[in-house]
Structure 1
Amino acid sequence: MRIAVMGTGGVGGGFGAALAKAGADVTFIARGAHLEAMRRDGLRIVGGRGETHLFPTKATDDPASIGPVDLVMFCVKLWDVESAGHAIRPLVGPETAVLPLQNGIDSSDRLIPILGAKAVMGGVAQISATIDAPGVIRQTGTFMRLAFGELDGSITPRGKAFLEWCQRAGFDATLSDRILTELWLKFIILATNSGMTALTRRPLGELRDDPDIAPYFQAGFEEVIALARAKGVWLPDDVLERSMKFTKGAPASMRASMAVDLIRGNRIELPWLSGKVVALGRELGVPTPTHAMINAALKPYAMGAPKD
């Protein structure tokens, strides 16, 4: 399978490297010092699952140089979805699948006007990983899962083919006929955990075990669950318990990517996480006080650290 990874950060680098190690033909799209390091030294993944070193690594900053592929793993930041969507058009042939793996819930909807409904699938990535240095991705813990599927719920040959490659690569993978549910199950957890770890600048373990802080996780989960149900999204009855269990079982040292970006002074994905929760709450008449607090407190940092 020919795969292009658009955006070689923690998600694209982590999953792309596992697929390449399993024998898939993977080309990574990156830029700057990260790209230079991959071309010179290869891509290295370090952390909880051991070390993977891809050398040589197929890497470029020009999607047009790759040509049409079987699947594009679309892993850019949320503010780059539209511009990156236009950039990958040379990768998309008549049978190409484009798998958005952003945080948030609306990347597929944003890509369809650019690439067409046939190309775009829905996807969820769960991994705690970030760029540690140019050419190096560091994973926290061992958890690594993809869920993906067609937006209309059909099970297709391209979905089955990619599932086989994921299984060869050795990480958890689900070919889902309810990918919208999968997106919301992740969003419930991610919007809240991202907001809390960013707001406090502290790792997850310190927060979930503090009796004064822990109740805000449950409150945040409940707000997003209420939104999903107001939109008619099917969720399992035990969704709150699942969300709490996942959070309690995640690595204590884990910081969501938004928290890492905030600490580094970078732009953050707030408008598509707690900001999106607040906007949907207003639209649907669902109270979201926890996420409103998170959004208000972090809004001055949305474009990066203030310069004053």
Structure 2
Amino acid sequence: MRILVVGAGAVGGYFGGRLAAAGRDVTFLVRAQRAEELKRAGLVIRSPRGDLLLRDVKTVQAGDASQPFDLVILSCKAYSLDDAIESFAPFVGPSTAILPLLNGMRHIDVLTEKFGASRVLGGQCVIAATLNREREIVHLNDLHALTFGELASGLTDRAQAIDAIMQGAGFDVTASDDILQQMWAKWVFLATLAASTCLYRASVGDILVAPDGKRVIEGLLSECRAVAAHNGYALGEDFVARVSGTLFAEGSTMTASMLRDVENRSRTEADHILGDLIQRGGEAQHERQISLLRVAYSHLKAYEARQAREAWASTEGID
């Protein structure tokens, strides 16, 4: 099975690197600068699960000639989806399966409209990783799990074949027969975490000691669960019990990656994680006079507006 990994950043580089090191036929679709980095230094992973140095990394660039790949693994930021699609579309053939590892659900709509539902899988990953100054992939904890499945549910021959290729590649993988339910569960958790930590500009532990902090997290979780239920993906008390250990952990230093983006003055996925969730909430969500989810989203859009204004002022030479 020929695998194309779009990008060689923290997530794609980690899972793609593990697959390549395990002997799978992996090619990375990268820009010229990243291709040169990989040629010079190799693909480097620093991880509690074992370091890796992968030499002779196979790469292609947008516009290169190639036969279609059997599997495309996509792990870009949601706001870069259109550019990513333009780069990998020529490598997609009639039997290519596309496995996105993005957060939220909007990308599924975009990909199925572009390539057809039969080519698109559902997927998610659980990993904390980043690129350091040396452009090495730094795995920040022990978690490195990937889950995927057919959008129509059930375990098809295609899903089982992909599962077989990924098993034994140095990370945890699960072929799910109900991937959309799992994607909604992750989305609700991430949206709650992102909305609360960005709204307070603080970690979970700090929020919990603030006046009404716990009630705010509880309110956000309730709103996000209501949107999931409205869309046919109810998340019961077992889900609440599972995520409560993280969302209500006293002394926890956990924050959402979206808050780290804000602190680094970077672009965020606010539209895709919070904005799209609000849009899918139906009339009840839009008619709320006081919606914590909408307040958190508005907070992030104000941040983006300020970033855009300051960027414009910088280009114009205005102090």
Structure 1 residues 66 and 272, CA, compared in 2 at 3 Å: closer, same or farther? Answer: same
Aligned to 2:151: 151
**Matched position secondary structure for 1:124:** strand
Aligned to 2:60: 60
Contact 1:268 1:303 in 2 (8 A): no
C-alpha RMSD of matched pairs (Å): 2.6
Aligned ranges 1:256-275 → 2 under 5 Å: 256-275=256-275
User: What amino acid maps onto 2:50 in structure 1?
Assistant: G
Aligned to 1:43: 43
Contact 1:159 1:175 in 2 (8 A): yes
**Matched position secondary structure for 1:238:** helix
Structure 1 residues 63 and 175, CA, compared in 2 at 3 Å: closer, same or farther? Answer: farther
Aligned to 1:141: 141
User: What amino acid maps onto 2:128 in structure 1?
Assistant: S
The TM-score with structure 1 as length reference comes to 0.88
Q: CA deviation at 1:119?
A: 0.8
User: How many residues align structurally?
Assistant: 305
The TM-score with structure 2 as length reference comes to 0.85
Q: CA deviation at 1:151?
A: 0.8
Contact 2:195 2:220 in 1 (8 A): no
Aligned to 1:295: 297
Aligned ranges 1:242-281 → 2 under 5 Å: 242-247=242-247, 254-281=254-281
User: What amino acid maps onto 1:300 in structure 2?
Assistant: A
Q: CA deviation at 1:139?
A: 1.8
Gaps of 5+ in 1: none
User: What amino acid maps onto 2:155 in structure 1?
Assistant: I
Aligned ranges 1:188-227 → 2 under 5 Å: 188-204=188-204, 206-207=205-206, 210=209, 212=211, 213-227=213-227
Aligned to 1:20: 20
**Matched position secondary structure for 1:155:** coil
Tell me the percent identity. 33
Contact 1:68 1:93 in 2 (8 A): yes
Aligned to 2:317: none
2:57 pairs with 1:76: no
Contact 1:4 1:69 in 2 (8 A): yes
Find the aligned partners of 1:139 and 1:253 in 2 and give their Cα distance.
18
Find the aligned partners of 2:200 and 2:33 in 1 and give their Cα distance.
30
Find the aligned partners of 2:65 and 2:173 in 1 and give their Cα distance.
30
Find the aligned partners of 2:126 and 2:65 in 1 and give their Cα distance.
30
Q: CA deviation at 1:48?
A: 3.2
**Matched position secondary structure for 1:108:** helix
Is the radius of gyration larger for structure 1 or structure 2?
2
Contact 2:31 2:62 in 1 (8 A): no
Find the aligned partners of 1:66 and 1:135 in 2 and give their Cα distance.
27
Find the aligned partners of 2:64 and 2:203 in 1 and give their Cα distance.
40
